[in-house]
Structure 1
């Protein structure tokens, strides 16, 4: 296991309980693929906004709502998993090596939009 993978697994252990990890493993593969495709599409749309986009624009708020829906789908309606997923993404965004993972460069934008929309609590 590489250093990055080890740090990522440590963050999974830190942010999710054993019960949450077990529940997440029960997510059907087709649902996981659908959610991942949704994130890929969302990241593409955020990239189209250009550098330093206005997080209060109508487009940003629409993208924030899509991110919120994807987080809810991933968490399977479990508020604890939802909160843990937000915390995990914040932790990844703060780690210079892990921040290079797929889509993580967009997490500060997503975090700000979701916070502005009051869909998540401030960090």
Structure 2
């Protein structure tokens, strides 16, 4: 009897967890449809360029800075897909405001590896 009860409990628990997982995946998918994350690197030697770009992005009403790594001059940005349909739109906007900027698109692994101890969550 105890074995049957335990089996039923495991099935109910698994079903509940699986249902929650599907719901979380759906919420994540909806979020990914409305916004994107870009990680940009500023390649200019002068730290002032990085600070100017960071200040500009932090004052923007159309995007949100979510992580900063000054050592590697990397900025993580969340943008609304309705405003920035691709990375190219963001890049072109930054190039128009900072014509001398050396801009690189980075992978988010830099935040987990090189900048792990420095990340400043915004």
Report the TM-score, using the length of structure 1 for normalisation. 0.29
Structure having the higher helix fraction is 1
Structure having the higher strand fraction is 2
